Each structure stands twice: as C-alpha cells, then as structure tokens.
Structure 1
Amino acid sequence: MNKNLIFDIKRYAINDGPGIRVTVFFKGCPLACRWCHNPESLSPQAQKLFTAARCIGCGECVKRCPEQACELTPAGIVTDLERCRVCGACAEICPSTASEISGRAYGVEELLAIIEKERPFFDQSGGGVTFSGGEPLQHPEFLLELLAACGARGIHRIVDTSGLASREVLLKVAERTELFLYDLKLLDAERHRQWTGVDNAPILANLRALAATGAEIRIRIPLIRGVNDDPANIEATARFIDGLVGGPKLVDLLPYHGIAVGKHVRLGGEYRAEGMSEPTADDLERVIAGFAEHGVLAAVGG
C-alpha cells in the first residue's frame, strides 16, 4: 500500500481556503525559509520533538529507549540526536506528552476516512480539503492519488505550494485541483537564495506556466519586516503578478510572527531571527497601498 509521512491534520481549518476545511500537512520541503513557522515540515523524515516544560522527570523514556539515547540530567531529559532512531518508544511511554514524534505514515484510504468525516462541514460552508506542507508536490504519486479520490467524491481540492517542483508534476496536479495557494517570497534571485536557500527562477517560471493554463490561483506572501516588505520588492512582485497571463490579481499577505521559536527548540535546533521582525499595522497599510499602485489587490489573511 502506498503511504506517505504526514506531520499534522488540521480539522475545522478556516485559513487555508474557502469554507471549513481539513488541511493535511505533508512532511518534507525543498526550501529552507529562515522564518518557517513549521520547521518540523522541512525534513522528509520523522523527527522527535521534546517540550521541556511538560516533562515531569519520571525517567520512563530513559528506561524504554532501545538506543539509550535519552538521559535524565539535573537540567532535565537530554536526547542524543546522533543515537536516536526516532522509533517512537519514548513518545509512547511518556505520560505528559513531553516527547512526541512528528511524522506518521498514512495510506490514501486512511486519510480519506478522516476527510470524509468532515463532509457535513464542507457541504454547509463550501469547504473541502487542502494539501499543504512542507511541500505536497514533493510526493506526486501519493498526492495525485489523493486528489483523484477526493475529486471522485465531489470534495473541493486545494494545493498549497511553494511552486518548487517539476513542471510536469505541477501541470498534472493542476488537472485534479480546484485552487492553488501559491507562495511568493522574494523577487530578487540573490535575496531569495539568501533567505530560502534556493533559486526562485523555477518557482516564477512554474507560476507563469500555471497561470497560462487558466488554473485558479491565489498568491500568498509571507510578509516579514526587514526581509521582503521594502518598496522595491513590493513593486517587483506587483509587476510580476500583473504580468501573469490570465493570472490572479489578488494577494494574501501573511504577517510573520515568532511562533516558530519554540518549535525549533523542541526539535533540538536554534532559531535565527536576526533581520526578521513582525510587520506593524503601518507596514501592512504601506504594502497594501504599494500593491494597489500597480493594480494588484492585497489583503491581510486568506
């Protein structure tokens, strides 16, 4: 049976497209955005998360770990990530859910059963299912099978994507998708590489190709003060969007927030926040006005 790692399933989602939705989060992403609010989505492998504030110091994880990767110290539980094999034994035994595993393998039918349970909400609100991540286009075979199955059941389908995928995969997915939520971060190639780790040329080219098919697209911009809120980037982004053949003229601005700090710590890493901050109300007004000057309607949220 074809299975795929999913790190979260959000029911009653109201910010991932129209209506009330189920959002399925795929694990693994080809970008490494410094501001990513779901750092557990970046790796395609299962990962251990540890929340120190929940730990009661019982030591059960130390006894259960087959790799002896957990140690009870005066500062609390410490996990040797080099020895940890992410088997999940610590999470199974932890009475306070301090230890958790991000990433569980689901089959198509199992996911469909979860999605189908929310159908009354879909029917009432005009909602459906949104496939997000991570990057769902990194898992084309599984995603296409899911999209086909949802389509056969009359469920509205959205794919939330960074756009970094093969053109062939993107266009195949477009045949089975009612709406794309397409991220744009930065138009300048060098700055895009600096903040996301990848070139934006294929992302922009894919968006042009997707818009030319007549696919329904909503552009989403994670707005980070000090990164992509400057007038030059706003003008370049607006001109690019305005030039898309048959493309969208509506942009959703997603203001940056620092919620990811705790998640990085729980993964055993660090969060580099230098150069990034939350946009102010004045920043948002300025950016919205900047887009409007070039014929693009921007709004906060989406």
Structure 2
Amino acid sequence: MNTSKRLKVAEIQRFCMHDGDGIRTTVFFKGCPLNCKWCHNPETKESKSQLLFYKNKCMGCKACEAVCQNNAHSVGIEHAILREKCSACFECVKNCPTKAVEICGIDYSIEELIKQIEKDVAFYGNNGGVTLSGGEPFSQGQSLIELLKACKKREINTAVETCGYANFELIKSAIRYVDTFLYDIKDTNEIRHQEYTGVSNKLILDNLFCADTMGAKTRLRCILINGINTTIEHYSRIGKLAQQLKNCQGVEFVPYHAYAGTKASFIGKEDNGNKEWIPSDEQIEEAKRVVKSYNVKVF
C-alpha cells in the first residue's frame, strides 16, 4: 500500500461516459491486490512504474537504444525490450520521436492531481465529476482519502471504483467523501472467485455490508465472463445481494472484452485475451432480466 503523500497514476481519461453518472474524469491508479485472469487493465496491476511499448508506432530509429545505459533496448528487424535490464530511468521515453514508448505510473502530489481534475470541471454539469479507478484506488492508502477531501472541498462529485479487497478502516474513512462507490462483484461463488482472482470474496462482501450500514451509496458492477460466471445462480445471488443492501442504487453488468490481452502485450506480458469469454447479447439480457426480477434497478 502507498504510504507516501503522492499518488501513482497510470492514466487520466477525460470525458468518460461509462464510469458513473454524467461526464467524468477517470483517474486510473497503479496497484491492485487481485490477480484476475480476465483483468481489463493489466497495466495497472503492479504498483511500480512500468514502460509501455507500442510496437506499431516504432519506426526502428534506435533513438531509445542510443540513450539506454542498461542495453534494455535491442532494435533490429524486431524491437526487443529486455525488461529485466530496465532500471525505469525512462530516458528512452524522452527521446522517442513517435511515442512508441511511454511511462505507465507517474507520481502526482494531491495538488497536482487536483489541478488535472479541475481542468474538466466546466463539463461536469449537474451530475458529472471524477471517478477514481485502477488498479485499486485504495492501494493509494491515506493519500486517496486526502484527494477525496480535496475534491469535496471543491464540490466535485466523486465516485470510487473498488474491488472491495481493502482494509475496512480505509474504506470507512472515505465514505463521507464519496458520492458513489462503483463496487465490483467479480463472482458470487467463493470457490470460483478464489480460482480466478487469487483471493476469497469474503472480505469483499463483508466490507460491502459494513459500508452499507454506514450509509455508503453503492452501485454493483458485475463483470460477465462467458463460461465462468454466466449462470442463473450467479445472477440470482447478485439480485438478492442488491436487495439486502439499504443504499444500493442498482446493478451494472460489464461484459468482458478481449482488448485487455492487447494491453498486456504493451507491458511485455503475454496477450492472454480470450474471445471465448465474451458473453453473448442473450446472456447479457438474461442477466439483466434475472436481476430485475428482484425489483433491482439495472443500469
């Protein structure tokens, strides 16, 4: 967990329409305690800064090779990056004319990040704002709370997308500064959750119920992965879960997409995107229908 007063940001996306209500600025933080096999943002998994390489942008000029003191770049017919040699000095990024290499993971102070968020305030309207995502936002520790405080001081609507696998004291301290928690429910089956994310869902659900008793407004975000959690049983459990919560706004289903595998290749990982995991339109509609049968709103 981040214990400094700085925040490690993977990316800032502007004019987002699918990360909460209205037009939003979405800040993606580095670091996540889960190891989801279907991770949509693999570049945010590690807490450290990493080098992104876009093969299609490289023109083979060898500018990166010339400035790298650790010989991490080898440019021939193919451009190979020997990541075990990379010291994360990122001199190659400064010298690449085509931006084929970029930094994923830039340190911001709270003041610096607030300035980035405030650039978009004019577009938020009545219901837009900032969404803190990742990775796992709570991996930023107390710095995240201070950022939320700064946002609320400026009357900026706040949403936090979280996997819920965090120290509850940290979540508790955030509640008064968060307008909506976009709370990820990867799977309601504990055995499958352990198998596909690397952790049990017990703490996640415990934190959800504890936050609910303290008045936290939540929207359950549920990824759909064909052949893994596309079952009536899972949909029914989601409906029952939302029913039990006093402050749940409803449920949003997020279909798996295979682009995540391509993003993994940018950080030197194997492209593990699986098109067979993409749910059909019929499966998505079935999930919505089952949850609606519990008188739960579906976004």
TM-score range, shorter-chain basis?
over 0.9
Helix, strand or coil for the counterpart of 1:114? helix
Report the CA distance shift for 1:154/1:297 in structure 2 as closer, same or farther (over 3 A).
Answer: closer
1:26, CA displacement in angstroms? Answer: 0.8
- The counterpart of 2:58, out of the listed 48, 55, 60, is 55
Helix, strand or coil for the counterpart of 2:200? coil
1:296, CA displacement in angstroms? Answer: 2.5
1:218-275 superposed Cα distances (whole Å, 9 cap, x missing partner): 110111111211112112222222222x131510111111111211111111133459
Helix, strand or coil for the counterpart of 1:180? strand
Report the CA distance shift for 1:271/1:199 in structure 2 as closer, same or farther (over 3 A).
Answer: farther
Identity, in percent, stands at 36
Counterpart-to-counterpart distance in 1, 2:145 and 2:247: 23
What corresponds to 2:231 in structure 1? Answer: 230
2:209 corresponds to 1:203: no
1:262-292 superposed Cα distances (whole Å, 9 cap, x missing partner): 1111111113345952111111111111112
Contact 1:188 1:233 (C-alpha < 8 Å) held by counterparts: yes
Letter in 2 for 1:8: E
Counterpart-to-counterpart distance in 1, 2:210 and 2:227: 30
Counterpart-to-counterpart distance in 2, 1:204 and 1:282: 28
Helix, strand or coil for the counterpart of 2:148? helix
Letter in 2 for 1:253: F
Report the CA distance shift for 1:275/1:206 in structure 2 as closer, same or farther (over 3 A).
Answer: farther
In structure 1, list runs of 5 or more residues that go unmatched.
none
2:29 corresponds to 1:17: no
Q: In the comparison of the two structures, how many residue pairs are matched? A: 296
Counterpart-to-counterpart distance in 1, 2:111 and 2:10: 17
Report the CA distance shift for 1:106/1:249 in structure 2 as closer, same or farther (over 3 A).
Answer: closer
1:194-213 superposed Cα distances (whole Å, 9 cap, x missing partner): 11111110000000111111
Counterpart-to-counterpart distance in 1, 2:162 and 2:57: 33
Contact 1:7 1:104 (C-alpha < 8 Å) held by counterparts: yes
1:125, CA displacement in angstroms? Answer: 4.3
Contact 2:17 2:23 (C-alpha < 8 Å) held by counterparts: yes
2:40 corresponds to 1:37: yes
Instruction: Report the aligned-residue RMSD.
Output: 1.5
Letter in 2 for 1:277: W
What corresponds to 1:187 in structure 2? Answer: 188
Contact 2:243 2:294 (C-alpha < 8 Å) held by counterparts: yes
Helix, strand or coil for the counterpart of 2:97? coil
TM-score, structure 2 as length reference:
0.95
What corresponds to 1:248 in structure 2? Answer: 248
Contact 1:20 1:125 (C-alpha < 8 Å) held by counterparts: no
1:154-176 superposed Cα distances (whole Å, 9 cap, x missing partner): 11111111111111111101121
Contact 1:223 1:255 (C-alpha < 8 Å) held by counterparts: yes
Letter in 2 for 1:286: E
What corresponds to 1:66 in structure 2? Answer: 69
Contact 1:12 1:22 (C-alpha < 8 Å) held by counterparts: yes
Counterpart-to-counterpart distance in 1, 2:278 and 2:290: 18
Helix, strand or coil for the counterpart of 1:28? coil
1:39-69 superposed Cα distances (whole Å, 9 cap, x missing partner): 1110000111111111101111111101111
2:140 corresponds to 1:168: no
Contact 1:249 1:295 (C-alpha < 8 Å) held by counterparts: no
Helix, strand or coil for the counterpart of 2:14? strand
Counterpart-to-counterpart distance in 2, 1:179 and 1:249: 9
In structure 2, list runs of 5 or more residues that go unmatched.
none
- Runs (4+) of structure 1 moved beyond 2 Å? 271-276, 292-299
Counterpart-to-counterpart distance in 1, 2:275 and 2:294: 27
What corresponds to 2:94 in structure 1? Answer: 92
Counterpart-to-counterpart distance in 2, 1:104 and 1:268: 19
2:286 corresponds to 1:286: yes
1:82, CA displacement in angstroms? Answer: 0.9
Comparing 39-48 with 260-269, greater Cα deviation is found at: 260-269
